Structure 1
């Protein structure tokens, strides 16, 4: 963690937030949103996915979005990769960092990428080879890691085994995803412990959805466990098209407010974040889903804490 922040928040709205929207946002508009998020102090963004456009048409143009942003920013800019072909696309678009994603359960894996967990891991081997040859850093996400939309609670040992295999393939960070937003703090505690048992030296992060309203409790639990990497989406947008019942991500502004109110630095300006949220809502044609979006801005604490805790914007 750098001197300006105690936790690293990656905003995933341009990937996870948009993949479940009924409309597709043009690449240029996605670039504009990314620039505004960077100006608000974010230094880590998910900006797209190299996946089947038949399955996720909203991700069309991810190569153009990534290519544009890489040329003008030193931020961590992630795209998702599922196959060797996706890895090649990421490299050609100038990726410096990617995330590979594997479900911990066969039924969700089959629904999302058409193969079992074991097959998904096997076909990622060549993808890691492509990325490593190009000098691209690969992080991994176990999604889902806590609760499956089809099979219910996931044994921590299964999530841990998936994480271990991803690290063996070359992942340098492992993110654990509550894809359906049904995890509880106890499940977070148990699964984090199981994963740390098998990959004790690998940094962990959390990717949280808020279907059951537990995302902030889960984030706080994880922080108490020493985790300082969190995914969130501005406005609480998002959901998994392949996980029935999944709803939006934990909202970036809600997570920032929670941490700031506890004196934990994120490097993010809450007021600028609010403006990005409101502008994106206009583009999408519906209201944001975050808790703070329902709180008048003049209510004490609604702005997310003292802006003095926030680092300077990355982009002028």
Structure 2
């Protein structure tokens, strides 16, 4: 069996943030606890952002409180110093900071170009460091931007260097609009590994063009062992036109298990939770596994009695 991977489940943040329905806090907490029981020990459960811009994240502090004592690490997203103070006040166990590598998305998502947002993130990191809260870094639009087009790898490296100077534990490269090819991923991973060791690099992939699983497998071959995913392929960015869902957790678990790579996740529990999540958002989910007939995952199907082998 290959080296195990760590999957961070992001459906409760990146998945729900763009949904037209508002899922009650108690249901978010119930889903999160179910995901932990299924073996997912890292969850992104919300974002400390302006509630008028992303209303579905307004209850992040309450979700964090509802997960006190769970045997997992709930992560929350922070874009600036104000968000960092809110994370501290809520007792957030871990935080992920976000900087867009492209100026166009940085202005849409953070209200300022990349260089200015880097300064805000430095102030946020200082707040978190003083409070003893561990933080990671995410580079949004690390491959393509909906406003600026392909993101030069040099811009990604500059953001990675800024994060490294702040002392981030891990660096995640985000394909915010889901356009990255496996080759794009390979080039970006190779470039940032000159700044951050590969064992501290993760990927956040969206699946707009159906290449996320191939990109994840390519990154695994390069030594990446951390991947974000959303159950059922839920998700999208409200400030990135054209972005669709994340790579599906159920599909990614299926891929790694078929290739002999441990994820620590129970596929059958995950399938049941996918149905619960679909009910919560009021629509079917888009993962490949959501569309196939239900049966125990990753187990061979016995041949029908009397079947004749048609292989030549």
Class of the TM-score when normalised by the shorter of the 2 chains:
over 0.9
Aligned residues: 300
CA contact (8 A) 2:36 2:71 kept: no
Structure 1 runs (4+) deviating above 6 angstroms are: none
When the two chains are superposed, the root-mean-square deviation of aligned CA atoms in Å is: 1.6
- Paired position in structure 2 for 1:10: 8
The answer (yes or no) to whether the contact 1:49–1:79 under 8 Å persists in 2 is yes
2:164 pairs with 1:155: no
Cα distance, 1:202 vs. partner? 6.5
Counterpart for residue 40 of structure 1: 38
Give the deviation of 1:304 after TM superposition.
3.8
- Higher Cα Rg: structure 1 or 2? 2
Matches within 5 A, 1:1-316: 6-69=4-67, 71-200=68-197, 203-298=200-295, 303-304=297-298
TM-score using structure 1 length: 0.92
* Equivalent position of 1:309 in the other structure: none
Shift of 1:173: 0.3
Residue 193 of structure 2 aligns to a residue whose secondary structure is: helix
Q: Distance in 2 between matches of 1:304 and 1:38?
A: 20
- The Cα shift of 1:170 comes to 2.4
1:294 deviation in Å? Answer: 0.5
Q: 1:169 deviation in Å?
A: 1.7
- Cα contact 2:198–2:224 (8 A) shared by 1: no
| Cα contact 1:182–1:212 (8 A) shared by 2 | yes
Give how far 1:159 is off.
0.6
- Which runs of no fewer than 5 residues in structure 1 stay unpaired? 307-316
SS at match of 2:47: strand
Residues of 2 paired with 1:155 and 1:126: CA distance? 26
**Residues 259-287 of structure 1, C-alpha deviation per residue, up to 9 Å, x if partnerless?**
00011000000000000000110111100
Distance in 2 between residues matched to 1:195 and 1:65, nearest whole Å: 33
The Cα offsets for residues 52-110 of structure 1, whole Å up to 9 and x where unpaired, read as: 111111101100101221x2213111000111111111111111210000100111000
8 Å contact from structure 2 (residues 135, 168) kept in 1: yes
Contact 1:257 1:305 in 2 (8 A): no
TM-score (norm 2): 0.93
Instruction: Tell me the distance in 1 between the aligned counterparts of 2:169 and 2:42.
Output: 16
> 2:108 and 2:298 mapped to 1: Cα distance?
38
The answer as to whether partners of 1:182 and 1:211 remain within 8 angstroms in 2 is yes
Distance 1:189 1:305, change over 3 A: farther
Rate the CA distance shift 1:46–1:5 in 2: closer, same or farther, 3 A.
farther
Structure 2 gap segments, 5+ residues each: 301-312
Shifted more, 155-164 versus 179-188: the winner is: 155-164
SS at match of 1:36: helix
Say whether the 8 Å CA contact 1:11–1:232 is kept in structure 2.
yes
